[in-house]
Amino acid sequence: MEIMNSETEKPSSDDSSSTSNSQSQRRVGILYDERMCKHSTPDGDHHPENPNRIRAIWNKLQIARIPQRCVVLNAKEAEDRFILNVHSKKHVNLIKNISSKEFDSRRNKIAAKFNSIYFNEGSSESAYLAAGSVVDVAERVAKGELNSAFAIVRPPGHHAEHNEAMGFCLHNNVAIATSFLLNERRELGIKKILIVDWDVHHGNGTQKMFWKDSRVLFFSVHRHEFGTFYPANDDGFYTMIGEGPGAGYNINVPWENGRCGDADYLAVWDHILIPVAKEFNPDIIIISAGFDAAVGDPLGGCRVTPYGYSVMLKKLMNFAQGKIVLALEGGYNLDSIANSVLACMQVLLENKPINGSSEAYPFESTWRVIQAVRQGLKVFWPTLADELPTTLISQTAPVPNILFLSSDSEVEDDNGAQASEDLEEVLQGIIQPLSNLKVDEDHQDKDNNAYNPWRSELSKIDVWYASFGSNMWKPRFLCYVEGGQVEGMQRPCTGSFDKTPPKEILWRTYPHRLFFGRESSSSWGPGGVAFLNPKSKIQDKAHLCLYRITLEQFNDILCQENVRSYSMTSPLFDLDDLISVASNESNSRELQMGGWYSNVVYLGKEEDIPILTMTCMNSDMESFKSGKHPIVAPCKAYMNTLVRGLVEGGQFSEEEAMAYIQEATKKPL
């Protein structure tokens, strides 16, 4: 792969015919370095945050001859002294040394202590290059050497906190660059910075680092769903507005549901971000440019098109004399992320959006969130004080109820394999197809194809799914197979592709600790839900209901429990995973999905058929023990479901079942 190392190259005159003279002279930087591909899973397992993400982007840009029109830069490693402006010394030392031979034997154990993190021999170098690269391009744009720039970096950064790597993020690249400009290069005259985080997940790390800083206006639009979407807390709610001098300078726009698209995002731009940006008048804008809200992303479940991203970016170019730095964050569909970055690069080079249109209306929930954000911030930003016209907010798109399912981990299914033809018709009314984006439409058609080759293979393999929570009651479990809901559930399940009921049902006890945690769930209201300690202890005893189903069905249940949006063009847990987990000493496989039940644990065999359950990650288990995650008794509706399962399964009388649950609730971990 050839990379142009031409920091002095100007845009080619070959392109001048398609733009004005001033536009053709725009100096746009682009940074890519293959060395950042060294960060990968230690055992070669598939992971959504993998080196192919930036390779796909770079390949797309090369095909479009974008590098020939840009100043192409290689990566530079960040200096510890600049990283220490936002991260603790303990954190810096860990990331700096984690790839050394000294950590070879314990690297995986250390990673398991964090939330959705992996390390390998290339992680340290990649993390330092990612942070240093964003610092470098930000400094060049601030100096005026470049009009704007895009840093195609990984690992991403916006989840990384002062003393903790999390959510695929090691160093907080954008926060490091922001602090660098404000504190280390004051002579450049950068006194106010607008950070726009359009990644589908809340930028919790960046928010905390500038919580009390009025020099930084942090804006994040993200799926939140009342704290159930990753990172699954209240930090991203619209009431989190900053503190002290920073009060009002932290703006969160939390989506209440998935499927948000161009119309939703542009409504937020027009009625929150752009008016506030005019008042704030930033000296430079840094975008945490995650593209996991894009059409087809397996984790995001939103519907932003490349055209939508191009319009969002163009609106921001009207500020700070067009001084904009984009730093790659998330985005896990290779086609979508490549097309979206290409659209953004075309905007930077040509100062106009790509061709396209968006005729859809925002969801009703979008207007509700916009109004709540404006109401909470109007005391800080007078431009938000006016009420939005009724004629405007009454123009809404319907939310297809069929998308919502109910699970203990409170995730929403975005699985095209389970969507009905009626749903497809509804979606056509929400997202208007764009004639110039055939690649994305074709990809979506493939994603929405119910049949995939892996299903045929895994439908021939039986497993026992061992349930310890609400699924112990058969009618509740069948919601995951056949679809629907039972009493006490507030949302229906979509069901599995194969709706065949279980072939057999057994009850067994295992030496694992049952407990209840998390403060609330949208399915059952306030109260904890059931978890099983992934590690066995001889003194513990848990009753589990075993359902004999296919490995294909197990994948659909695993998806409904954990993944808010997944195309299911490939399984979450395949035959190789099954063989590995059955022979691995740890007897478990942690899937990096962000759900509450993303740890598949192997419990042995029954009738020579593997027994699998799904519970919390080992890192979550430590958080429950330390009190970081709360231990909470279940609510009445949830408890009644557990009791019915245990009683109808012949394990206990009603009184004994209540005592069993109460003991699990009160006994310390």
> Catalytic site residues?
159
Number of Cβ atoms within 10 Å of the Cβ of 352: 14
3-class DSSP assignment, residue 63: helix
DSSP single-letter state for residue 164:
B
d(CA 322, CA 567): 37
Taking the CA atoms of the chain, what radius of gyration do you get in angstroms?
25
CB-facing half-sphere around the CA of 299: CA atoms within 13 A: 26
User: What are the angstrom distances between the C-alpha of 177 and each of 78, 141, 243, 607?
Assistant: 10, 12, 22, 58
| Bond into 155 cis (ω within 30) | yes
- Tally of CB atoms within 10 A around 420: 12
3-class secondary structure per residue, 428-489: HHHCCCCCCCHHHHHHHHHHCCCCCHHHHHHCCCEEEEEECCHHHCHHHHHHHHHCECCCCC
Helix, strand, coil shares of the chain as percentages rounded to 5?
40, 15, 45
Name the burial class of residue 331, with classes exposed (0-12), middle (13-18) and buried (19+) by CB atoms within 10 angstroms of its CB.
buried
Report the alpha-carbon distance of residue 481 to residue 603 in Å, rounded.
Answer: 22
DSSP string computed for 546-587: EEEEEHHHHHHHHHHHH-SS---SS-SS-HHHHHHHHHSTT-
